[in-house]
Structure formats: structure tokens, C-alpha cells
Amino acid sequence: MEQILRLLTIQRVLIKHGLDEFVFATHLFRPFRFIYFILPWNWFGRKTGPRAVRMRSALEDLGPIYVKLGQILSTRRDLLPEDIANEFAKLQDNVAPFSGEVARSIIEKAYQEKLENVFLEFDETPLASASIAQVHRAVLKDGREFIVKVIRPDIERLIKNDLALLHLLAEKAEKYYRKGRALRFTGVVDEFEKTLLNELDLQREAANASQLRRNFREEEQYFVPEVNWELTKRNVLVMELVRGVSVRDIDALKAAGIDLRWLAEYGVEVFFTQVFRDNFFHADMHPGNIFVTPPEQGKPAMVKVIDFGIMCSLTEFDQRYLAENFMAFLNRDYHRVAALHIESEWVPRGTRMDELESAIRSVCEPLLDRPMHEISFGELLQRLLQIARSFNVEIMPQLIMLQKTIINIEGIGRQLYPELDLWKTARPQLERWRDERIGTKGLIKDAKQHIPKLIDRMPGLPNKIIDVIDRINNGKIEMENKSQEIHELRHEMKSYNRRTVLAVVGSGFLLSSSIIYALDKGTHGEFLSVPIVSWLLGFAGMMLLYLSWQEK
């Protein structure tokens, strides 16, 4: 019943924004398209506006879960038209806060005691509110300022209901929409579900923050807040309060004496360090999550980050794919790019390298025919993923998250410093990774990792060999397979061998019979004459061939 009511709400919102015309244009509803024209609200021309704006407004009206879906869809520029992706990127996760009293009761239930026993102060007025959780300021008993992040009440039930409905709509879209299967709507919903459910677990976010803080513990200009693990629960996160100037406020950054060129380049350097050194990067780097403190008392300026609900890792394969592709693009070596795709089996077997190379060149050459500081790293990766999609390559979610983060980092960097050369800043990290993983350093590193393991196993190796030999001698290891399928296969192979032998011998008898008959001069007696022998050989050959056909 709840899903039916939700469907009716969705229908009402679609009608409000004039999006029902797209529903009736689908394969499923096309036979009933005439209904669209007889509905009263379509009799008079509605002011609609661009489709992308109407779709964004509809998502905002449907609520925070659909706003979050739109945000994720905005990163799938390999799937969405550019106008819709750009409009969805404007979606902001601004949600009305729930009451501070409710937040207090949720926290007290998690701790099973009154807040006065835990915090010196707790501000019931939230600092920020989003679709999944909201944040309050608190002071610990030792006087330190922390934030308390609280999951919204009853949000898990609402999310699961909306996800069930989205799964249903995605399945129907793939079934009845001509391009639905290629766009993999169900895959997008699966990815969305995983992201949302991960965000519901604040202990996971706390673990992400701790890992990132540990990775940069030696870096004095990059700050990750400390987690209070004693007070952190699945639905409550307690973390050090971050203060500073938001990177959104460029005038305030200038007034604070912060070097905007340094800030832009340092942000790019840190990001690529996370990707290629640590293999663990912050995948939600929008301006609201980045703050800067100005230099003071001999201390340098510091970049501070918050919100660690969405972190991502790349496999070694993904890292190699990105590093080598970017380096090949820098050198305009499109043949190498195509070869990398084929070698890594990212494209289907049988893909012609010349066709793939031509596609890469035609898409990327116009992009690269600009000054280096004008080339968009994010756009290049987007083009690369589009090429992969056109050759039926499955795009991994972690690469989509990487693309989204690069676009965000690049956008922030060029707002701060329009002349930012992302390639120049990123190249040292790419080359360092390549040297460490593929060059001499990589070989030495692999040897250091694997030789100790081999040495540890060497002393026990002779005993293991002797044990295997003893077990073979004692009959404990037998090369047999009792599978019924294998037994039947053996029977068929034996039968096939017998048929082959019979057929070969029978054919030989028939051939011999024919040769003897052809050479006969009719000089022998009738019974022992050559024609009789020829006849007997022929009869035997026919019988053997008959038996070969009947053999089971």
C-alpha cells in the first residue's frame, strides 16, 4: 500500500513538471499515448521550460532520497545527455532539520544514559542538515569541541521502501525502454543502494576518517579530524570540530592571506597522492567539505576536510589503467591507449585495434589541441569512459567515482586559480607511481615482498615433497574422478575409439577388395578365384562398417 501511494506521488510530481509526456513516449505506454492528449491538464499549453530543469525540479520535489539519486546520476556522464548531467550536478542536499529534542533522544538511546553524563555542552540547534543525517556541536568533558552526527529517525525504512520502488522502475525501464538495457538502470540503482546503505553506518565513516588521518599523519598542511571511537556508534558519530574558511568564499580566502595558486595546486597534489600512493581517496570533494586555515605564528596554511561517508579504493589494475592511459594521452600515443584497453581485456575479444585507436583519436584530438592549462582532466576521463562504453566495456563504479571527484577537484582548483595546469601538477605523481610499480623500483619492491615469503616456506618444502611421495606409494592419492559426468564421458570416448577402429578396418577391407578385383585377370578357379576373395573382403568390410554405425 505504501509503494502504491508513493507511485501516485511520483505520478503527481511528473504531471506537475510536464514529464508525463516522456512516460507516454516509452515503448510500454506508446500504445496508450492518446490518453496523454485527452488528460485535462494537457488541454492548455503548460509552461514547461527545458527538460533538464524540469527533471531537476521533480527530483527536488520528490525528496532527499531522489535528490541523492540525481547527484549520483550527475556523475554518470557516460550514460546521461550532457544537459541533464549538468543540471543534476546543481542538486543540493539541503534538507529541513529534525528537532534537537529528537536528536537528543536518539543519542541517549545509543549511549543508554543522559547526555549530561557524556558531554559538557550539547547544542540542540544543528550546524548542518542533510538527507541522511544532521550535525550538532558538542563539548566533551575535557573541554574539546567535537561534532555529533546523528542519523535521521526512521530514515532506513524510508530508504528501503524507495529503493524497492526504484528497483522495480529500473527493471521495467530495461525491459520496455529501447536503450534501457544498454544504460543499465538496474546497475545504477544497485550502486545507489550500496552508497546509501554505507552512509547509514557511521562507524564505517569513522573508520574511513581514521584511515585517511593515518595516511597523512606526517603531512602538516593536510588535516583530517580525529574520531572519538568511545562515543561513536552505528547511528552516532563523534568527531573533532573543524573550523576554517570555506573554499567557496574566495574573497575571505584572499582576505586571510591564503595563496590561491598554492591552494589549487596543493589540492590536486593531495588528491593524486591519495589515488596513486595510498589507493584510498575522498570521493565527495565538493566545496562544502573543504576548509582552509590561514598561516599563523610560523605555521603554514592548512587544508581541512570533512564528511568521509564516501571513500573509494582502486585495484592495482585500475591504477595501472589510469596511470598508463594518462601518460599515453599526454604523449598523444593513441595506439598505446588502444593497446592498453585490449591487453587488459577491457574491450570484447576480436575488437580491432585500428578501429579503437581511430575512435580514441577522433574524440580526444580536438580536446588535446589546446594549451595544457586549458585541457580538462575530468573531461578527458569522461571521453575515455564514453569510448569504453561505445565498445561495450563494463565501467567499474570506482572509476565513475574517480571521474566525479576529478571533475570536482578540477572545478574547485580552477575557480581558485584559473591558470591551474592539472597535467603539470599530476604528472610527477603518475611518473612516481609508474617507476615504483613498473620500473626497477617496482621489481625491487616486489622482490622484497615475495622473497621473504619464499624463504619462510623453503625449510618445510622437502618434508612436504617426501610426504606427497609417501602418500602416492601408500595409495592415498589416486588419480580418479568418480563424477558421473566424467564416467559417461569416458564411456563415450571408448565407444568412439571402437567405432573409429571398426570404420577404419572396414574401409580398408573395402578398399582392398576393390583393388584386388581391379587387378584380377580371371585366371584362377571359380571358388578360389580372386573375385571370390574380393567378395569376401567386401562383405567383411561392409559388416565392420555396419558394426561401427551400431556401436554405442
Active-site positions read 284
Q: For the packed helices 422-437 and 316-330, what is the interaxial angle rounded to 10 degrees?
A: 130
The torsion angles phi and psi of 147, rounded to 5 degrees, stand at -105, 150
The answer to whether 316 touches 443, Cβ cutoff 8 Å, is no
**C-alpha–C-alpha distance, residues 196 and 173, integer Å:** 22
Helix (H) or strand (E) holding 13: helix 2-16
| Chain CA centroid to CA 278, Å | 18
| Placement of cell 597523512 in the chain | 216
Q: Look at the block and give the residue holding cell 521502501.
A: 161
3-state class (DSSP) for residue 137: strand
Contact by Cβ (8 Å): 95, 133: no
165 CB-side CA count, 13 A: 20
Cα–Cα distance, 133 to 238 (Å, whole number): 13
Taking phi first (over 0 means left), then psi (-120 to 50 degrees means alpha), and beta for anything else, what does residue 69 get? alpha
3-class DSSP assignment, residue 281: strand
Eight-class DSSP state of 50? -
Residue 203 burial by CB count (10 A; 0-12/13-18/19+): exposed, middle or buried?
middle
For residue 311, what is the enclosing H or E element? Answer: strand 311-312
Task: List, as one string, the DSSP characters of 55-121.
Answer: HHHHHHHH-HHHHHHHHHHTT-TTTS-HHHHHHHTT-----PPPPHHHHHHHHHHHHTS-GGGTEEE
Judged by DSSP in three states, 142 sits in coil
- DSSP at 370: S
| H or E element in which residue 325 lies | helix 316-330
Give which of 143, 149, 138 is closest to 306, Cα–Cα.
Answer: 149
CA distances, 176 to each of 14, 190, 301 (Å): 19, 19, 55
CB of 305 closer than 8 Å to CB of 267:
no
Position of cell 567539505?
A: 289
420 and 265 Cβ atoms separated by less than 8 Å: yes
Inter-residue contact 146 to 238 (CB < 8 Å): yes
